[in-house]
Chain A
């Protein structure tokens, strides 16, 4: 069975500093991996997805993630945090039929 582990439930960063959100996956086959963001009282929005075309995936709003098969990781990064990045972030794995399994989420707080 596949599972997704987000290693930090809560991350606090200062505006302008880098953001790192950690995610490990477990899968017996080549996974489809996603990062979604959920702003307060808003719907889920796709940040980026990995579909085996390239290991470094660039997404919206300056986010990117690197797929590392040897480490079964798919960490999300952004060089410089903005106040508008405060939200909850979900690492997600999809199965062959597109059913998504979500990590527990990481709450990001950005301080001025």
Chain B
């Protein structure tokens, strides 16, 4: 079956521009997570959506970062006024219930390069 998909696979942007990254979770999965993988910080949690509940934004590094999840399915991560330190691979994952024992299925990631 279809896994988690992300688009674009690569994004190059200029400092100061806004970018949108998209995640399509596995159909029927209620929980969706965004992570970031960068050379300096490793893999870190950004934000978590569970059903219709308010998202857990505790991992977002600044107010330039925001995310939404429409209709409990597709999610968009938006970075405003990008900075060079935002360069990283942004990963999305989904699980069917969002509990501690769930297996998270990861997408291939979006590689963001800020020039």
Which residues in A have some Cβ–Cβ distance to B below 8 Å?
Answer: 32, 42-46, 49, 51, 90, 94-105
Contacts and interface: CB of A to CB of B under 8 A. Distances in A.
Nearest to B46: A99
6 contacts: A96-B99, A97-B48, A97-B98, A97-B99, A98-B33, A98-B98
A65 B56 CA distance: 31
Query: Could you say which interface size class chain B belongs to?
Result: 20 to 34
B100 A90 contact: no
Contacts of A42: 108
A42 B109 CA distance: 9
A43 B103 contact: no
A43 B109 contact: yes
A2 B108 CA distance: 27
Interface of B: 31, 33, 35, 42-45, 48, 50, 56, 59, 91, 93, 95, 98-104, 106-109
A94 B93 CA distance: 13
B114 to A, nearest CB: 20
A43 B4 CA distance: 10
B42 A100 contact: no
B95 A98 contact: yes
A97 B103 contact: no
A43 B98 contact: no
Contacts of B109: 43
Given A44-B91, A44-B106, A98 B99 contact: yes
A105 B37 CA distance: 11
A43 B108 contact: yes
A95 B35 CA distance: 15
Contacts of A32: 100-101
Contacts of B59: 99
